[in-house]
Chain A
Amino acid sequence: MFHLGWFLTTGFGVYGWNQPWSGNVAADVGRPELFVDTARALERAGFDYMMFEDSSVLPDIYQGTFESSVSAGQAVRMDPLPLMPLVAQATKKIGLIATVATTFYPPFLAARLYQTLDHLTQGRIGVNIVTASPHKAAQNYGLEKHIDHDKRYEMADEWMQAVTALWNTWEKGALQLDTETGVFADHTKIKPANFEGEFYRTRGPLNLPPGPQHRPVVCQAGGSPAGRDLGAAHADTIVSAVVGAEAMKAYRDDISQRMIDHGRKPDDVKVLYLVSPIIAETDAEAKEKQAQMRAAQAANISGNLAAMSYFTSMDFSKFDLDAPMPDLSGNNGHQSTMADFAKSGRTLREIAANHRTVESVELVGSPATIADQMEEVMDYAGGDGFLIAAPVTRKNVTEIADGLAPVLRRRGLIRSDYTHNTFRENLLEF
Chain B
Amino acid sequence: MFHMGWFLSTGFGVYDWKGPWSGNIRADIGNPELFLETAAALERAGFDYMMLEDSSVLPDIYQGSYAHSLKNAVVRYDPLPLVSLIARHTEHIGVIATMATSFYPPFLAARLMSSLDHLTHGRVGVNLVTASPHAAAQNYGLDEHIEHDLRYAMADEWMQVVSRLWESWEPDALGTDENRTVYVDHTRVHPIHYEGRFHRSRGPLNTLPGPQRRPVVCQAGGSPAGRELAAEHADTIVSAVVGVEAMRAYREDISARMVAHGRDPHDVKVLFLVDPILAESNAEAQAIAQRRREAAASDVEGALAGMSYVSGLDFSQFDLDAPFPEVLSRTNGHQSTVADYQKAGEDKTLREVALTRSVKDSIPLVGTPASVADQMAEAMEYAGGDGFLIASAVTRRNVSAIADGLAPELRRRDLIRSSYDYGTFRENLLSF
Question: Which residues of the other chain, A, contact B400 by a CB distance below 8 angstroms?
Answer: 21, 393-395, 398
Question: Which residues of the other chain, A, contact B280 by a CB distance below 8 angstroms?
Answer: 20, 289, 292
Question: Which residues of the other chain, B, contact A393 by a CB distance below 8 angstroms?
Answer: 400, 404
B29 at the interface (CB under 8 A from A): no
A266 at the interface (CB under 8 A from B): no
Question: Which residues of the other chain, B, contact A406 by a CB distance below 8 angstroms?
Answer: 23-24
**Contact in complex: B24, A401 (CB < 8 Å):** yes
Question: Which residues of the other chain, A, contact B407 by a CB distance below 8 angstroms?
Answer: 23-24
A315 at the interface (CB under 8 A from B): no
In the bound assembly, the distance between CA atoms of A377 and B401 in angstroms comes to 32
Question: Which residues of the other chain, B, contact A27 by a CB distance below 8 angstroms?
Answer: 44
**Contact in complex: A24, B404 (CB < 8 Å):** yes
With A281-B288, A394-B400 in contact, do A399 and B21 touch (Cβ < 8 Å)?
A: yes
**Contact in complex: B23, A22 (CB < 8 Å):** no
From B33-41, B97-105, B256-264, the one touching the partner chain is: B33-41
Question: How many chain-B residues does the 8 Å CB contact rule pick out?
Answer: 32
In the bound assembly, the distance between CA atoms of A399 and B23 in angstroms comes to 10
B368 at the interface (CB under 8 A from A): yes
Question: Which residues of the other chain, A, contact B397 by a CB distance below 8 angstroms?
Answer: 395, 398-399, 402-403
A40 at the interface (CB under 8 A from B): yes
**Contact in complex: A402, B404 (CB < 8 Å):** no
- The digit string for B280-294, where 1 denotes a CB below 8 A from any CB of A, is 110010011001000
In the bound assembly, the distance between CA atoms of A395 and B406 in angstroms comes to 13
**CB contact list, A366-384 vs B, under 8 A:** 366-367
CB contacts between A and B, total, < 8 Å: 79
Question: Which residues of the other chain, A, contact B396 by a CB distance below 8 angstroms?
Answer: 41, 394, 398, 402
**Contact in complex: B27, A24 (CB < 8 Å):** no
Question: Which residues of the other chain, B, contact A403 by a CB distance below 8 angstroms?
Answer: 20-21, 23, 397
In the bound assembly, the distance between CA atoms of A285 and B407 in angstroms comes to 24
**Contact in complex: B23, A24 (CB < 8 Å):** no
A45 at the interface (CB under 8 A from B): yes
Residue of A nearest to B43 (CB): A27
With A27-B44, A44-B24, A394-B396 in contact, do A20 and B33 touch (Cβ < 8 Å)?
A: no
With A23-B409, A41-B396 in contact, do A281 and B20 touch (Cβ < 8 Å)?
A: yes
Residue of B nearest to A405 (CB): B23
B311 at the interface (CB under 8 A from A): no
**CB contact list, B390-411 vs A, under 8 A:** 395-397, 400-401, 403-405, 407-409, 411
Chain A residues packing against B (C-beta within 8 Å): 20-24, 27, 33, 37, 40-41, 44-45, 281, 285, 288-289, 292, 366-367, 393-395, 398-399, 401-407, 409
Sort A-B residue pairs by CB-CB distance and give the 9 closest, nearest first: A406-B23, A23-B408, A398-B396, A394-B400, A395-B400, A44-B24, A24-B44, A403-B21, A21-B405
